[in-house]
């Protein structure tokens, strides 16, 4: 039974020889970590790739994402034509560049194309207002030349004899919207049991909960620095993260080692002043965070959402 037959029977709840089993390839740094944990030596591959020996080792079907172009339908449903990749600045602090989606980002201490994880900050997105939208619309014209291959009829006929599932990449509106304008919050709603004295830092010291789309974070003591000022000792922070997806209601306890936050901030800032190195993260991030925090307090006082 080939992978295509196995995939179809799995979807139809039929009786394949086994379920179709395939997952997205990991970053290059992931298999390297697996080798330290006992994975046998295998040929080197590029980022987001695995050798055939790995698929055989884990009993996985060939990954259609990594097969030849004949196994994926050659239609481009994303930004077309793409923005040109541009290196804006490269120094000891890292690389500032624009990707094919028009997003300007900074990779701290990493060169473009370096395998593994990056400390990345997104600086700007292609749509900053209504005036930018008409230009972006042109890049999503379904009739743009080049979205489909000239020999698509021949390509379709060739698919009939394939032995693997066919890959068609369709971008969701959530990911597209995030790439267009970024993922900054647009509205904040907060609620607290407010006593006669109103809402202040001392009130949040008693604990607060941050609710998100996928779950919530409960912080029993939101302002641990108060303990440092009051008693001259460090206070370890504890967070409780609850995942509400798929009805799991899974809660994870996260403990953060106590540090002298103010001292670290001052030492970091002084080092950047003395050495002239770039400050990470930039001050704009701090301003954005303070806007959200101010909105949280205002929302807790008024009981209404606050638009950002």
pLDDT tens sequence across 134-147: 889 999 998 888 88
pLDDT of residue 202: 43
Q: Give the closest residue to 254 by CA, choosing from 215, 301, 304.
A: 215
Q: What pLDDT is recorded for position 68?
A: 44
Q: Cα(146)–Cα(76) distance, rounded to whole angstroms? A: 8
Low-confidence ranges of the chain (pLDDT < 70): 47-48, 63-71, 109-119, 183-207, 212-214, 221-236, 244-249, 259-262
- Report the predicted TM-score, pTM, of the whole model to 2 decimal places: 0.50
| Closest to 236 measured CA to CA, from 253, 215, 252, 251 | 253
pLDDT attached to residue 282: 74
pLDDT digits (tens, 9 = 90+) for 183-217: 666 666 666 554 444 444 444 445 677 776 667 78
User: Torsions phi, psi of 195, nearest 5?
Assistant: -85, -170
Spacing of C-alpha 259 from chain mean position: 27
Look at residue 219 in the predicted model and tell me its pLDDT: 76
Give the closest residue to 104 by CA, choosing from 83, 89, 125: 125
Cross-strand bridge partners of residue 107: 95, 120
Q: Where are the domains of the chain?
A: 187-307
pLDDT score at 288: 83
Per the prediction, the chain carries an average pLDDT of 76
pLDDT recorded at residue 113: 45
Q: How far apart, in Å, do the first and last CA atoms of the chain sit?
A: 55
Quote the pLDDT of residue 216: 77
The confidence score (pLDDT) of residue 178 equals 82
pLDDT for residue 83: 93
Question: What are the start-end ranges of the H helices in 169-254?
Answer: 173-181, 201-205, 225-231
Q: State the Cα–Cα distance between residues 115 and 112, nearest whole angstrom.
A: 9
Backbone φ, ψ for residue 97 (5° rounding): -150, 165
CB atoms within 10 A of CB 229: 9
- Count Cα atoms within 13 angstroms, Cβ side, for 114: 13
Residue 172's nearest CA partner among 78, 247, 106, 75 is: 78
Residue-level pLDDT at 244? 62
What pLDDT is stored for residue 64 in this prediction?
57
Cα separation of 36 and 81, whole Å? 42
């Amino acid at each position: 039974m080939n992978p295509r037959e196995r995939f179809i029977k799995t979807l139809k709840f039929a009786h394949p020889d086994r379920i179709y089993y395939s997952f997205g390839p990991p970053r290059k740094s992931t298999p390297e970590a697996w080798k330290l944990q006992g994975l046998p030596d295998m040929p080197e591959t590029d980022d987001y790739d695995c050798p055939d020996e790995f698929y055989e080792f884990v009993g996985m079907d060939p990954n259609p994402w990594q097969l030849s172009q004949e196994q994926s339908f050659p239609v481009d449903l994303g930004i077309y034509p793409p923005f040109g990749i541009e290196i804006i600045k490269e120094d000891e602090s890292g690389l500032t560049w624009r990707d094919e989606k028009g997003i300007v980002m900074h990779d701290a201490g990493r060169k473009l194309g370096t395998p593994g994880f990056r400390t990345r900050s997104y600086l700007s997105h292609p749509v900053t207002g209504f005036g930018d939208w008409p230009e972006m619309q042109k890049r999503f014209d379904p009739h743009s030349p080049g979205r489909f291959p000239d020999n698509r009829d021949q390509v379709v006929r060739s698919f009939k004899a394939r032995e693997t599932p066919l890959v068609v990449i369709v971008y969701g509106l959530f990911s597209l919207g995030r790439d267009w304008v970024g993922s900054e919050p647009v509205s904040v709603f907060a609620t607290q049991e407010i006593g006669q004295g109103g809402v202040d830092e001392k009130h949040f010291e008693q604990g607060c909960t941050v609710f998100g789309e996928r779950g919530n974070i409960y912080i029993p003591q939101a302002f641990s620095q108060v303990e440092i000022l009051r008693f001259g000792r460090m206070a370890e922070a504890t967070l409780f993260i609850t995942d509400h997806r798929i009805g799991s209601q899974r809660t994870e306890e996260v403990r953060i080692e106590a540090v002298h936050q103010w001292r670290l901030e001052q030492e970091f800032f002084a080092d950047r002043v003395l050495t002239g190195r770039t400050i990470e993260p930039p001050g704009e991030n701090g301003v954005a965070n303070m806007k959200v925090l101010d909105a949280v307090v205002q929302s807790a006082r008024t009981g209404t959402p606050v638009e950002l």
